[in-house]
């Protein structure tokens, strides 16, 4: 794949460079013989600004990174007020794990319950338009991806969840349940399963019927599997233990919410029949998949398919290539039209957000 980067100019998908960078990223692609990170380096440390009601300051930092073609990290360092806010946020979370939990509960509630206002808006059929919507949706969900980066162990210098306290092994127990839940349901009587599903409902903060429906969907995805009774008993005990667990340290909260987020990642798109909950992912997943379909047959498409099932890195990779006007063998359209589309979708998102009742922050 040939690649030529057109330097200079503004950017509408600025780098974050807090959770990862070009060389250090969970997902990479090869352009012109060099590996380029296409996921974590575009995550932003937005949570302190959301929690403290300083969203406009976050927007200023991000806009400066766009206008100066730098990074969120660089502009944060150059803004004493913003840097002080982030450091205070870290200090408070590190000293008081209860505040860490409250921060995640507040912000994840917005993500998993409040509908993303642009998710249901249709984008025109051009690649630039699809990816304009994707990029605006990515920025809209910056808190989610920032939390995901923290509980995943990144941003070591400002990550309160890496404290060295001992932690309960059960804190990460949700990770082992996705594939086994259909078999658990099959091997329990109705009363026993109802009791188990209600416990799981209380752990992941979803309605019982949503849990029940999601497990039915998982049955079609994974089937029931052939598990020994002892393994099924151990899995049921994990749910019991999580129901009764008292998590107290930042490290425990980090482990729990890391698995909590992954548990929800497969769940929301499978429960739309129960209401709008979970639809916000469509602002990212749907346009990214549409853009991928339009570059089928190219070397770029083939390389992005090697990433696997993860949709966000694919959308980020194509958006970044368009934003920086990098030449590839795929027909991605016009860089300027993409940037104009990002701004238009961003304004639609801001108008919709202003019209929506804002949550009360308690941290």
pLDDT at residue 123, as a whole number:
85
pLDDT at residue 283, as a whole number:
75
| Residue numbers in the chain where pLDDT is lower than 50 | 1-8, 115, 268-279, 357, 359-363
pLDDT at residue 301, as a whole number:
95
What CA–CA distance (Å, rounded) separates 215 from 204?
Answer: 14
Rounded to a whole number of angstroms, the distance between the first and last alpha carbons of the chain is 48
Residue with tokens 């249901």: 120
H or E segment and range at residue 109: helix 97-113
pLDDT at residue 318, as a whole number:
96
Q: Rounded to two decimals, what is the model's pTM?
A: 0.82
With CA atoms as reference, report the closest residue to 283 among 29, 111, 40, 149: 111
- For 7-35, letters b (16+ CB in 10 Å) and e give eeeebbbbbbbbbbbeeebbbbbebeeee
pLDDT at residue 251, as a whole number:
87
pLDDT at residue 199, as a whole number:
92
In contact, 16 and 42? CB cutoff 8 Å:
yes
Residue with tokens 């352009």: 31
Alpha helices of 223-332 — where are they, by DSSP H? 229-244, 250-266, 282-294, 299-305, 312-323
3 state DSSP class of 36: strand
Burial of 135 (0-12, 13-18, 19+ CB in 10 A): buried
């Amino acid at each position: 794949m040939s690649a030529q980067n057109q330097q200079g100019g503004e950017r509408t998908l600025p780098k974050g460079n807090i959770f990862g960078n070009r060389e250090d990223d969970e997902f990479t692609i090869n352009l012109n013989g060099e590996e380029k990170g296409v996921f974590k380096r575009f995550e932003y440390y937005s949570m302190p600004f959301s929690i403290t009601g300083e969203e406009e300051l976050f927007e200023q930092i991000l806009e400066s990174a766009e206008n100066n073609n730098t990074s969120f990290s660089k502009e944060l360092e150059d803004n004493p007020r913003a840097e002080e806010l982030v450091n205070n946020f870290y200090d408070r979370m590190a000293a008081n794990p209860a505040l860490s939990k409250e921060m995640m509960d507040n912000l994840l509630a917005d993500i998993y319950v409040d509908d993303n206002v642009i998710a249901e808006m249709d984008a025109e059929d051009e690649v630039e338009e699809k990816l304009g919507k994707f990029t605006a949706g990515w920025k809209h969900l910056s808190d989610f991806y920032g939390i995901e980066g923290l509980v995943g162990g990144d941003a070591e210098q400002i990550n309160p969840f890496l404290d060295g306290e001992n932690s309960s092994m059960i804190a990460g127990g949700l990770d082992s349940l996705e594939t086994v839940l259909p078999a658990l349901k099959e091997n329990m009587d109705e009363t026993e399963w109802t009791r188990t599903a209600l416990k799981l409902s209380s752990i992941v903060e979803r309605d019982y019927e949503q849990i029940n429906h999601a497990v039915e969907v998982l049955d079609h995805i994974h089937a029931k599997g052939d598990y020994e009774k002892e393994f099924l008993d151990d899995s049921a005990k994990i749910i019991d233990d999580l129901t009764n667990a008292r998590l107290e340290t930042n490290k425990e909260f980090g482990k729990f919410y890391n698995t909590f987020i992954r548990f929800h990642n497969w769940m929301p798109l499978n429960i739309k029949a129960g209401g709008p909950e979970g639809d916000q992912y469509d602002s990212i997943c749907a346009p990214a998949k549409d853009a991928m379909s339009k570059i089928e047959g190219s070397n770029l498409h083939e390389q992005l398919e090697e990433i696997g099932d993860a949709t966000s890195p694919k959308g980020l990779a194509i958006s970044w290539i368009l934003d920086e006007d990098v030449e590839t063998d795929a027909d991605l359209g016009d860089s300027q039209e993409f940037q104009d589309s990002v701004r238009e979708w961003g304004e639609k998102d801001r108008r919709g957000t202003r019209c929506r009742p804002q949550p009360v922050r308690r941290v």
